[in-house]
Amino acid sequence: MKKPIIIAGPCTFGSYEELYKNATLVKERGIEYLRAGTFKMRTSPDSFQGLREEGMEMLLKIKKELGLKIVTEFTSIEQVHKYGDKVDIIQIGTRNMYNYELLKEVGKTKTPVILKRAFSATYDEWIKAAEYIKKEGNKKIILCERGVRNNISNETRNMLDLQAIPYIHQKTNYPIIVDPSHASGLSYMVEPMSKAAIAAGSDGLLVEVHYHPEESLCDKEETIDFETLDHILEFIKKEK
Ligand code: PEP
Ligand code: MN
């Protein structure tokens, strides 16, 4: 099996210094891909929405300075037009999986796309959403399982559907990665669920990490520290 792709970084950031420190710690571990959101899709309009365009300039500066590949979410067609060819992977978030006009626009770029599963989407709906991208010409699509809503328990944010991994492998040619952070919403579950995802054949992980998780401006409860990330990386090294 191919080496899993590891994408790590903070959910979002409030300053260049914060981003730079996290990016340096990601790079030090030999990780190629930095994730960080600057156009945030928050449940409440009163929550921090990301540094937006200003943050995008910071991400592009980090790319140049540290040579890291940038993975970030776009939430509008305008952002895709403006920055689509400047980043290394475009992330489409769970709330936009059904935004077909956005998917079509991403499909017109040549940039790889991570398509997160909507938290209530069936496998079929998810695969058909990927087809909206593919139909426009962009075939570099990575599916991402990030947990689905369930009505059994509300102790975790979502429930990680590991069955998505063998299903997608069986039925499609798309690679599939797992985001264990948004799945549970709890940092202590990220390491065991990352290991489980790798054991189940995931093609990679998208993980939220911060040097001081409690200082994260978004999703601090699910954000792991770098020591925990090291445990996950050691496990992957042994496994593969
Ligand atoms: C994220 O990756 O920070 C994010 C908002 O993810 P999701 O769309 O899965 O909630
Ligand atoms: Mn997040």
Tell whether ligand 1 has an atom less than 6 A from the beta carbon of residue 41: yes
Separation of CA 33 from chain center: 10
C-alpha–C-alpha distance, residues 171 and 197, integer Å: 18
Cβ atoms 236, 30 nearer than 8 A = no
Ligand (nearest to CA of 213): 2
pLDDT tier, 1 (very low <50, low <70, confident <90, very high otherwise): low
To test the pocket of ligand 1, the residue of 13, 59, 114, 116 to mutate (highest count of ligand atoms within 8 Å of its CB) is: 116
Residue 115 in contact with ligand 1 by CB distance below 6 A = no
Q: 190 C-alpha to center of ligand 2: Å? A: 13
- Nearest atom in ligand 1 to 41's CA: 5
pLDDT in tens, 181-231: 999 999 999 999 999 999 999 999 999 999 999 999 999 999 999 999 999
Q: Which residues contact 52 (CB under 8 A, 6 or more apart)?
A: 38, 39
Beta bridge partners, 145, equal 178
How far is ligand 2, taken at its centre, from the CA of residue 120, in Å? 17
pLDDT digits (tens, 9 = 90+) for 96-110: 999 999 999 999 999
* CB of 11 sitting under 6 A from ligand 1: yes
Please, what sign has the CA dihedral across residues 89, 93, 94, 99?
Answer: negative
Q: Is the pTM of this model over 0.85?
A: yes
Q: Which atom of ligand 1 is nearest to the CA of 40?
A: 5
